[in-house]
Structure 1
Amino acid sequence: MTLSDNWTPPQGSWASSAARRRNMQAIRSRDTTPERLIRRLVHAQGLRYRVAARPLPDLRRTADMVFGPTKVAVFIDGCYWHGCPEHYVPPKTNKGYWSEKVARNMARDRDTDRRLTEAGWLVLRFWEHEPSAECAARITSEIARRRASARPGGKQKH
Structure 2
Amino acid sequence: MAILPIVMHPNAILEKECEKVTDFDKKLKKLLANMYETMVEADGVGLAAPQVGLDLQVAIVDIGDDSGTVELINPEVIEVDGSQTDLEGCLSFPGLYGEVTRPYSIRVRTQDRKGRKIEFQAQAFLARAIQHEIDHLNGILFTSKVEKYITEDELEGYEA
TM-score normalised according to structure 2 size: 0.29
User: Is the radius of gyration larger for structure 1 or structure 2?
Assistant: 1
Which structure has the highest strand share of the two?
2
TM-score normalised according to structure 1 size: 0.29
